[in-house]
Chains A and B, each alone.
Chain A
């Protein structure tokens, strides 16, 4: 939860300050006035990076730095500073955080933007991001295992190229060693993701029923490219053997074709793959249910209320549905909605209006 936030030279905001409501906040204004920028400022407090990728334009045109200062109910003040050259610094209670990952879980955040609201049918990388971004906020061991995994795969790809091009002498044995390492870390990543899905499915089913009125079970299956059964007690061995079997073809592409970086999840609604069988509206409500369930897991795991950012995510729902989402959502976190049409959203929310580009005004 974020109690207050202050923006300085952040995107199109020269200066802005907002005291946020602990339940529901609605930020509205015409497109281009900076609604998403405001949500982005809250997002960087959670993840230390933008949802827009490259941090270059975060700093307002011609300014020397951009700064976001946020306070949470735990009496922590975070100061995020961005420089035009892409450098950034995070200071928590006047102490500089040496690594970005030290920030994770301090301001737990769930972001639902246009891509996330289409997570069921969208690209697999968005579904993997959903798993990684959620789990990373409560499980520091996952963060280091995922980091070690990514690095090991990069080493493996380099080794594949080195061996194929005859540049690494004795490379075949090296690849076998790296395969062990990839399987070791990859199996941990895979098992943790699988445990997370086990936790989130029943929760998401309940939330989906509440917002859609549809009483059908949501099941989420982990589709691993590295093992047929992610619950296999011999996961690491199975993974390693499959990796070895892939070696010959991987040596042609210099790519590691299997593993958590290529895995996916399949979401079933009442035993049918939602991707194919759910309606357009259902797909969106499933996504919202998943993200609210993720918020609940974060709260249970770290004992802090997450901030849930709906970036234009409710705009596509019919007004009645959007309203019922917002009725339920505050149970799962502090809600911040960015929308061009605030009229019919919810009565007891704090309303912020973007009066002109980069100017935020509290309405009530």
Chain B
């Protein structure tokens, strides 16, 4: 069978927007949580904006690209290396809080009760997506944990299956290292009534109950 001739001798796909617009949509679709429809909305919104608005976006992205670095100690995103947390002598460098992603640091920082330092793994172990120990900053964490001034490692990972695997894995690697390894407690979220808590959370909260007296 021979090749069928092209009906439209053009790169434009009938019924779709011009290729430059489709390209931009495809780029935005790569963003987390953005599907085809949202990407389309964003692009058409941008197209309706004055030129300086677009410049604002472009320069913000450019600035990101040019000035953001990855901290060589904790792998947080920062504009300095080491990052402002690692470089801060006021912080307690004997406690390391381990998180999956840099944005998790913001969540912990917002509590304002933690004054230790961090370690960003860059994800969670997930064999189904082919993510193994060497794809994450686990070896670097083990190295840091072995330093004599480090007393405690706090694992602040999602209470998901992947989070559990990652926590178990780190705990195993640190078995012979003289450091305390703790994990965030799972419990009832603030502001909810006990009767509405799901059984899994409630059973975890019961198991990890704290002494009052």
Q: Are B199 and A176 in contact (CB under 8 A)?
A: no
Give Cα A158–Cα B165 distance, bound, in whole angstroms. 13
- Count how many chain B residues have C-beta atoms less than 8 Å from C-beta atoms of the other chain: 22
Contact B169 A159 (CB under 8 A): no
Q: DSSP class of A's interface residues: helix, strand, loop or mixed?
A: helix
| Residue among B134, B161, B203 with most chain A CB within 10 A | B161
A-B contact count (CB 8 A): 70
Q: Are B133 and A140 in contact (CB under 8 A)?
A: no
Chain B positions within 8 Å of A144 at CB level = 199-200
Who on chain A is nearest to B126 by CB?
A: A155
In the complex, the answer to whether A159 meets B127 with C-beta atoms within 8 Å is yes
Bound complex: CA of A169 vs CA of B132, how far in Å? 6
Size class of the contact patch on chain A? 20 to 34
Chain A, residue nearest B132 (CB): A168
Complex interface bits, B117-140 against A, C-beta within 8 A gives 1, otherwise 0? 000000001111011111100000
For the complex, is B168 an interface residue (Cβ under 8 Å from A)?
yes
Inter-chain contacts of B173 with A (CB < 8 A):
173
Shortest Cβ gap from A181 to chain B (Å): 6
Q: Which of A16-24, A146-154, A200-208, A244-252 binds B? A: A146-154
Q: How far is the CB of B174 from chain A (nearest CB, A)?
A: 12
B127 to A178, Cβ gap below 8 A? yes
B149 interface residue per 8 A CB criterion = no
Check if A156 is an interface residue, CB within 8 A of chain B. Answer: yes
Known: A154-B128, A155-B127, A181-B164. A173 touches B200 (CB 8 A): no
A156 touches B133 (CB 8 A): no
Q: A102 to chain B: which residues have CB within 8 Å?
A: 198
Q: Are B127 and A140 in contact (CB under 8 A)?
A: no
B203 proximity list for chain A (CB < 8 A): 141
Provide the bound-state CA to CA distance between A174 and B133, in Å: 7
Chain B: minimal CB distance from A295 (Å) = 22
Query: Chain B interface (Cβ within 8 Å of chain A)?
Result: 125-128, 130-135, 161-162, 164-165, 168-169, 172-173, 198-200, 203
